Every structure is written in structure tokens, then in C-alpha cells.
Amino acid sequence: YTSGKGVFIVTLRGGTQQIARGSAGNVTINSWDSNVSFQRGNAVYLWQRGSGLRRIDSGTNPKLSLNAKVLAYERGGSVRSFSLITRKTRTLGPGTDPAPTVSGVFIFWVRGNLIVATGIGRSVARCAGGPQSPETSAHGNYLIYLCAPNGAAAGDRQVHLEYIGGK
């Protein structure tokens, strides 16, 4: 969780550990409490148990895959990914709102009125009003997102569920 004093994790034993000082936002944590990503200002940070805190890149809206293999984020109108295995960063393409699958194999993101994904080779969803907040199922075979129908008010969004295929 975050407070004005920093970023904290609640350990499995019920204790609290401060992992960064100062304000932060867009916090994501993997399923073993061993990796935490967050945004501070216009920078993306990663804390790893045993390695500590490091600045990954300039950017916003970080999302960590639950298995902690991939960190996706926005930078300069593009979606980027950082591999926690190889320590390499790559630009995936123009867009916003990245959403890695649990395994980190696929990363979905918004590009205009489409949702696209790595490794699929086609858009996976279309929304005339512009999709928002894509998330995937545990296996990455379903996609859920918000969409405003044509002519709807900006705040008048509907929840959509798309079957991507496989599994």
C-alpha cells in the first residue's frame, strides 16, 4: 500500500515493511510479495526482495505480471516492457494502458480504438469510443475492458468480455 510516507508491503507473517520513501502511485505486486513496481513522478521503479529498489526507466502506469517475469509501462506514447529475467527493455508499440497476463507471455494494451497484444499478430478487441483498463484472465484467454458505445457520454462505459482463444 502507499501513504504520504512511502510504499509498504504487508508480509505473509503479518508485519509491515517499508520498501520506498516518499509518495508513489500505480503500485502492483506479484503473488509472492517479492516484487513491487510503482510510479513516482515520471519514473517507473521496481523493488525486489534481496536486491532492493531500482529505477527502471522514465515512464508511467507500470503493471507487473503476477509471476514477476515482466513489467509493462507507458513511455512517451508507447508501451514498453522490462524483462525481470534478462533485464532488457523493449518498445512494444504506440499506445497506453498495458496489461500483462499472469505469466507475462502476452501483454495487451490500448492503441486508439483497438486493444492489441504481443505475440497474437492482430487486434483482439475494438471499441469505437476507445477501450480502457484492459485486464486478462489467469490463462490470458479472456480479456475484460471498459468501452463507451458510439455516441455515449465519456463516463457512460460498459464492461466487455472477449474470448481470445486457446486454453
What is the H or E stretch that residue 78 is in? Answer: strand 78-83
User: What is the reported pTM?
Assistant: 0.86
Phi-psi region at 19: left, alpha or beta (left = phi > 0; alpha = psi -120 to 50): alpha
Whether the CB-CB separation of 62 and 73 falls below 8 Å is answered with yes
Please give the pLDDT value at position 153: 62
Sign of CA dihedral 92, 98, 103, 106: negative
Please give the pLDDT value at position 98: 95
Secondary structure (DSSP) of 49-71: TTTEEEEEEE-EEEEE-TTSSEE
> Which mean pLDDT values do the consecutive 10-residue runs of the chain (167 residues) have?
79 79 84 84 92 94 91 96 95 94 89 89 83 87 86 74 80
Distance (Å, whole) CA 114 – CA 149: 13
Whether the CB-CB separation of 117 and 106 falls below 8 Å is answered with yes
